[in-house]
Amino acid sequence: MKPLPILIAVLAIGLTFCTDVEDPDPPVKPRLVEKSSGFDTLTQGIHPSMEQNAIVLQWYRNPDPDLAGYVIFRAADTTIEADLKFETLDSVWIFYANPTLLDSEYIDINVELAMPYLYYIRAIDDAGNESKPSDTARYTLAVKPSIESPKNGQEDLAPQPLFSWKYTASFQFSVDFFFITLENMTTNELVWRYATSRNRYDGTAQSVPYNTDGSASESSLSSEYLYRWRLDAYGMLNAQGIEREGARSPWIFFKVKGE
């Protein structure tokens, strides 16, 4: 009798067929990062890039162990929402070999100013299964503000400088609020966050004195420190202060002179 070798052979064949069966289960539906308010110091969710004219989309990484990556879809809102045509924009793959690389963020550089864009993503696993689509995120990129003062690299400013900028007179943009963010680069601390409404629509300069509301952590800026500031231009804010249109200037580095 030779039942044992026959049984082993049958089990081996069965295991071979099992390993060739593809995973039938798709990844779970991905979640986009909730958008932060313009009043928040930490920017999260869909937002404009500081470095370039681009829209940044963020999501939470899926828990699926066999996750391969994500497919990103985009539609330009050129008509009514019922006629939106979503097209495949790009793919983002998981970087198992280098987990420091971003696989839960996408920067869309191929965008037109003043054009509303809508995005959603699908997760994809190693077997090629696609998840259900995520919720949809919407954003319109505006033109960046033109910084007047402090300028990048300035070192002769007064301890209580004047923050000044210009914004386009074009009415194709709905920007009506500006947010100043000032940080102390030497201590790595937030010094001042201030919001002001737009009061110039003719392209001329708008200015705000430092600490005009008394909320800054430093009564006067010190010549011992290096500072940086940026200006966010936001429009179409809802009741929670979340904008649907905007732009951000790059970081501007400066120092003040001693008294």
Domain CATH number, residue 113: 2.60.40.10
Q: Is 133 in the same domain as 160?
A: no
pLDDT value at residue 2? 44
C-alpha span between 31 and 133 (Å, rounded): 9
Strands 154-157 and 252-256: parallel
Q: What is the four-CA torsion angle of 77, 26, 100, 40, rounded to 10 degrees? A: 50
Inside any domain, residue 23: no
Q: Is 243 in the same domain as 158?
A: yes
pLDDT value at residue 146? 96
Separation of CA 205 from chain center: 28
**End-of-domain residue from the set 141, 172, 206:** 141
Q: Which residue has the tokens 């097209």?
A: 87
pLDDT value at residue 216? 98
Q: Which two tokens stand for residue 223?
A: 């010549």
Inside any domain, residue 22: no
Inside any domain, residue 93: yes
pLDDT value at residue 18? 45
CB within 8 Å of 94: residues ≥ 6 apart = 67, 68, 69, 103
Give the residue numbers spanning the domain of 208: 146-256
pLDDT value at residue 162? 98
Domains held by the chain: number: 2
Q: Is 82 in the same domain as 96?
A: yes
Q: Is 166 in the same domain as 243?
A: yes
Strands 116-125 and 137-141: antiparallel
Q: Is 53 in the same domain as 109?
A: yes
pLDDT value at residue 22? 64
**End-of-domain residue from the set 82, 114, 141:** 141
Q: Is 153 in the same domain as 103?
A: no
Inside any domain, residue 5: no
pLDDT value at residue 13? 42
Please report, in tens digits, the pLDDT of each residue of the chain (259 residues total): 444 344 334 334 444 444 444 678 899 999 999 999 888 888 999 999 999 999 999 999 898 888 999 999 999 987 665 678 899 999 998 766 555 556 789 999 999 999 999 999 999 999 999 999 999 999 999 999 999 999 999 999 999 999 999 999 888 899 999 999 999 999 999 999 999 999 888 889 999 999 999 999 999 999 999 999 999 999 998 888 899 999 999 999 999 997 6
Inside any domain, residue 183: yes
**End-of-domain residue from the set 141, 157, 180:** 141
